Amino acid sequence: MLGRRLYEDGVDGILFKVAELPGNEFISIFNSDVLPERGVQGAHYRFRWDGQRIGRLFDFGANRDIDRNDIIVGPLAA
């Protein structure tokens, strides 16, 4: 609700912290005119939790599922 209100009030963006993720800062840009150049989306994944571990990832760029064992080698892959 706060973000929506700030957006509607014409604020260009906000820098904020999330209590659940200490030590991290997040930014939300509401007005792209304040950026020196256009942003570029990097790799984007969905991590699939099976109740015990992340067993699969979905790669949005390649539009495919990735099995954890295909990218993690060694004892952790089991």
Distance CA 62, CA 45 (A): 10
pTM above 0.75, yes or no: no
In this predicted structure, the answer to whether residue 72 has a pLDDT above a threshold of 90 is no
Q: Determine the 3-state secondary structure of 10 from DSSP.
A: coil
For the stretch 1-45, pLDDT in tens is: 888 899 999 999 999 998 887 888 988 889 888 888 877 778 889
Farthest-apart Cα atoms in the chain, separation: 52
Helix (H) or strand (E) segment spanning residue 2: helix 2-8
Question: What Rg do the C-alpha atoms of the chain give, in angstroms?
Answer: 18
* Triad 7, 13, 16: Cα angle to 5°: 110
